Amino acid sequence: MEFLMGRSLSNSAINLGIRDQYADALKELGFEFEVLAEQEGDAALGNGGLARLSACQMDSLATMDYPAWGYGLRYQYGLFRQVILDGYQHEQPDYWLNFGNPWEIERVHVTYPVKFYGTVEDENFNGGKRKVWLPGETVEAVAYDNPIPGHGTRNTITLRLWAAKPSDQIDMESYNTGDYINAVVNRQRAETISSVLFPDDRSYQGKELRLKQQYFFVSASLQDIIRRFKDSHSNFDDFPEKVALQLNDTHPSLAIAEVMRVLVDEEHLGWNRAWDIVCKIFSFTTHTVLPEGLEKVPVDLLESLLPRHLQIIYDINFDYIEELKKRIGLDYDRLSRMSIVEDGAIKSIRMANLAIVCSHTVNGVSRVHSELLKTRVFKDFYELWPHKFDYKTNGVTQRRWIVVSNPSLSALISKWLGTEAWIRDVDLLAGLQEQAANADLHEEWRMVRKVNKMRLAEYIEAMSGVKVSVSAMFDVQIKRIHEYKRQLLNILGIVHRYDCIKNMEKSDRTKVVPRVCIIGGKAAPGYEIARKIIKLCNAVAEKINNDPDVGDLLKLVFIPDYNVSVAELVIPGADLSQHISTAGHEASGTGSMKFLMNGCLLLATEDGSTVEIIEEIGKDNMFLFGAKMHEVPALREKGPTLKVPLQFARVVRMVRDGYFGFQDYFESLCDKVEGGNDFYLLGYDFQSYLEAQAAADKTFVDQEKWTRMSILSTAGSGRFSSDRTIEEYAEKTWGIEPCRCPF
């Protein structure tokens, strides 16, 4: 349901292999390519990592000639724009279609009716009964195609996004009954379905509009897929041969019930035959670790919006539970845990359980994530169906994250490898390892990095008015704001650094390694703690940046409105990046991979993808700290008796005492990490965090060592290309082969 595509011009021109000719042609017209490219706004039809992952995967699918389609919604308003006023986040609508979207192609003839509400009746049929859904509302889905050109191939695939339009059928009825006003109002109402992206990254509120969006998108996509299948096939038994559907999280999992409905109610296949087909076509990727991150749909809501789908889900659950009883006996606790239907205060449908039951493969997004799924979140299911569980470690596309966003590094790599082939075959980056100690490479490498830092420094000054020195270490944390990602740990670490500088003898200050700390990210509008973290960051920045005592030794910048384009600018200019989630909480994390490719060193906990990054580049090439995943539960148990270093108490006290102002506002934030409430273990990890930071400082002084580590980071990033991820999906999950364009 989400794709964070960012800009398209540079990416498309590069993938098509016409970047330079295009730039020359523009020049003749009096335009600079770079200046023009900057004019494009981001397509931000998604929230965070999950949505950018889909975008990277589309690039890999196209480049590797796989015959794939991406389906989503054409939200009129993408992810909100973040504006910082007095240090607080404010949201503004992102009306990205205001000036038109030159990339999309409206397919006026590719439209499908999508139905909602109404009742289900029994109808006589062939001497028996069958169910008929009599819907109460019809909305039209119109296809908008966004081409995704592959690199080094003529293959271009399609991101097909659905927009909701009023259905004329319904209107005619209203006009005929003279209800003109209502007909117009209904037309308006239809369009609201695809009007706005929900900005809550992984928190589900059981909103009707959200469920409507999900079904709208699922129904239109399936009608499209089935129509295409029927163009050349007449027997649905061939369907699994031709179609593989990958559910990106549970957001599209209504598709399972919808395929059953179409096959049984409309195509009149028997239930068992339809069920066989369903079980062969779906696979499911899950992106979360926490049980509370799992989507639940209240039964009441589903019953009123999609009454037939609720029946189908009940029927699937009935058969499944009967089967389960035969397998595991009458263990009612376990049966109720594993049921698709949750009988609680609010009876609801567990979408993840539905997806697991009906999919042939359940993918995690990193190895440790998959281990957690098997041993905790989906333990019961793993014991029942171990063969279903697998993982495909996430990856990112080197086309966008090196070639487009870091052209000078890209040219340098091609020069030293003597080939551009790494752009399609990223494992070739490993060839840089041999040169990791080469003094000439070091000099060129540092030069490229410096130019990128200058570009970033200019941006920082333009955005925030803060002047930063490019000889300082640029230390970056950019991602959605979440308690588990621990931006607060970063900020408290900065407060500690500030406090140390303030308390130092003047003569010792020369030993401090200058830092520019950069934080960016959006908070979900309803997530109060995340909003407070942003305010705290800005309050601390205000104090530090205006303290003449500190000068260039320490700066803190909050970059507003973090998005794909900002990432493209910031990542190449970072020396150090932070991936500091409490171990066992980040399913994967893909930002780290982008930094790694760009030769930025990582300061990280052993969580999600960083565990696998360690295996590629070694512990010595990064700065690791913090409690290990298996230690976390026991540490939490300790509650208020858990030992916390004095420095931690001291920096929290500074915030509590109003050292940065806004004392009342920050109180609840401080309460979250003290007095036995420190769920994410900031206090426990503080000491080792500071040690990792000190190690980074020490290494930064040794520029020769730093540069070698930087080169080895890029050289070791090959495994984290989405090309590898997609190849694994193609071979192991979908059973498809490249389909190269013959002309």
Q: If residue 304 lies in a helix (H) or strand (E), which one and from where to where? A: helix 299-305
Residue closest to 168 by CA, chosen among 142, 154, 187, 192: 187
Nearer to ligand Z57, 89 or 588 (CB): 588
| 48 binds ligand Z57, rule: CB under 6 A | yes
Q: If residue 84 lies in a helix (H) or strand (E), which one and from where to where? A: strand 81-85
**Cβ 6 to ligand Z57, closest distance in Å?**
15
Q: What would the two tokens of residue 585 be? A: 């909480």
Piece of the chain touching ligand Z57 by CB under 6 A; list 41-49, 305-313, 351-359, 491-499: 41-49
Considering 479, 497, 532, 719, which one is annotated as catalytic? 479
Nearer to ligand Z57, 54 or 153 (CB): 54
**Cβ 293 to ligand Z57, closest distance in Å?**
5
In the residue annotation, 480 being an active-site residue is answered as: yes
Instruction: For 241-373, list the strands marked E by DSSP.
Output: 245-248, 282-285, 296-298, 341-342, 348-350, 361-364
Nearer to ligand Z57, 58 or 553 (CB): 58
| 718 binds ligand Z57, rule: CB under 6 A | no
| 587 binds ligand Z57, rule: CB under 6 A | yes
Among 7, 160, 202, 497, binds ligand Z57 (CB under 6 A): 202
Considering 63, 393, 590, 714, which one is annotated as catalytic? 590
Taking residues 347 to 366 in sequence order and writing x for each that binds ligand Z57 by CB under 6 A, - otherwise, the string is ------------------x-
Piece of the chain touching ligand Z57 by CB under 6 A; list 49-57, 354-362, 429-437, 719-727: 49-57
**Residues 6 or more apart whose Cβ sits within 8 Å of residue 90:** 82, 83, 84
Considering 496, 535, 594, 719, which one is annotated as catalytic? 594
SS3 annotation, 389-458: EEECCCCECHHHHHHHCCHHHHHHHHHHHCCCHHHCCHHHHHHHHHHCCCHHHHHHHHHHHHHHHHHHHH
Q: What would the two tokens of residue 95 be? A: 């009306």
**Cβ 287 to ligand Z57, closest distance in Å?**
3
Nearer to ligand Z57, 251 or 308 (CB): 251
Among 72, 150, 560, 589, binds ligand Z57 (CB under 6 A): 589
In the residue annotation, 326 being an active-site residue is answered as: no
| 199 binds ligand Z57, rule: CB under 6 A | no
**Cβ 587 to ligand Z57, closest distance in Å?**
4
Taking residues 608 to 627 in sequence order and writing x for each that binds ligand Z57 by CB under 6 A, - otherwise, the string is x-------------------
Piece of the chain touching ligand Z57 by CB under 6 A; list 48-56, 101-109, 381-389, 643-651: 48-56
| 287 binds ligand Z57, rule: CB under 6 A | yes
**Cβ 573 to ligand Z57, closest distance in Å?**
22
Among 253, 394, 605, 722, binds ligand Z57 (CB under 6 A): 394
SS3 annotation, 461-527: HHHHCCCCCCCCEEEEEECCCCCCCCHHHHHHHHHHHHHHHHCCCHHHHHHCCCEEEEEECCCCCCC
Q: Which residues of 535-562 are buried (b: 16+ CB within 10 A; e: fewer)?
A: bbbbbbbbbbbeeeebeebbbbbbbbbb
**Residues 6 or more apart whose Cβ sits within 8 Å of residue 561:** 81, 82, 83, 522
**Cβ 198 to ligand Z57, closest distance in Å?**
10
Beta bridge partners of 166: 139
Q: How far is CA 225 from CA 56, 273, 327, 663, in A?
A: 23, 19, 35, 56
Nearer to ligand Z57, 67 or 526 (CB): 526
| 586 binds ligand Z57, rule: CB under 6 A | yes
Cβ burial, residue 224 (10 Å; 0-12/13-18/19+) = buried
Beta bridge partners of 320: none
Residue closest to 664 by CA, chosen among 673, 655, 672, 676: 655
**Cβ 445 to ligand Z57, closest distance in Å?**
28
| 478 binds ligand Z57, rule: CB under 6 A | no
In the residue annotation, 450 being an active-site residue is answered as: no
Considering 374, 480, 482, 672, which one is annotated as catalytic? 480
Considering 309, 453, 485, 522, which one is annotated as catalytic? 485
Question: Residue 142, by phi and psi: left (phi above 0), alpha (psi -120 to 50) or beta?
Answer: beta
DSSP 266: I
Angle between helix axes 682-701 and 646-656 (nearest 10 degrees) is 100
In the residue annotation, 131 being an active-site residue is answered as: no
Q: If residue 176 lies in a helix (H) or strand (E), which one and from where to where? A: helix 168-176
Piece of the chain touching ligand Z57 by CB under 6 A; list 43-51, 87-95, 502-510, 712-720: 43-51
| 72 binds ligand Z57, rule: CB under 6 A | no
**Cβ 251 to ligand Z57, closest distance in Å?**
8
Nearer to ligand Z57, 50 or 148 (CB): 50
Angle between helix axes 528-545 and 663-671 (nearest 10 degrees) is 120
| 486 binds ligand Z57, rule: CB under 6 A | no
Cβ burial, residue 682 (10 Å; 0-12/13-18/19+) = buried
Nearer to ligand Z57, 341 or 587 (CB): 587
Q: What would the two tokens of residue 422 be? A: 């790494």
Among 10, 13, 37, 49, binds ligand Z57 (CB under 6 A): 49
**Cβ 286 to ligand Z57, closest distance in Å?**
7
Q: Which of residues 648-677 bind ligand Z57 (CB under 6 A)?
A: none
In the residue annotation, 479 being an active-site residue is answered as: yes
Nearer to ligand Z57, 202 or 708 (CB): 202
Residue nearest to ligand Z57 (CB): 49
Nearer to ligand Z57, 111 or 588 (CB): 588
**Cβ 53 to ligand Z57, closest distance in Å?**
4
| 50 binds ligand Z57, rule: CB under 6 A | yes
Q: How far is CA 194 from CA 217, 238, 583, in A?
A: 9, 33, 37
Residue length of the chain: 743
Residue in the structure block whose two tokens are 């999900």: 214
| 201 binds ligand Z57, rule: CB under 6 A | yes
**Residues 6 or more apart whose Cβ sits within 8 Å of residue 739:** 65, 66, 67, 155
| 588 binds ligand Z57, rule: CB under 6 A | yes
Piece of the chain touching ligand Z57 by CB under 6 A; list 232-240, 286-294, 375-383, 396-404: 286-294
Among 538, 590, 592, 598, binds ligand Z57 (CB under 6 A): 590
Give the integer Cα–Cα distance in Å for 101 and 510: 53
Q: Number of residues interacting with ligand Z57: please give it, by CB under 6 A.
A: 19
**Cβ 567 to ligand Z57, closest distance in Å?**
14
- Written as one letter, the residue type at 742 is P
| 606 binds ligand Z57, rule: CB under 6 A | no
Cβ burial, residue 599 (10 Å; 0-12/13-18/19+) = buried
Q: What would the two tokens of residue 697 be? A: 């400082």
Taking the CB of residue 664, how many other CB atoms lie within 10 A of it? 7
Give the integer Cα–Cα distance in Å for 511 and 701: 10
Among 45, 53, 193, 574, binds ligand Z57 (CB under 6 A): 53
| 247 binds ligand Z57, rule: CB under 6 A | no
Active site residues: 287, 479-480, 485, 590, 594
**Footprint of ligand Z57 (CB under 6 A):** 47-50, 53, 201-202, 249, 287-288, 293, 365, 394, 586-590, 608
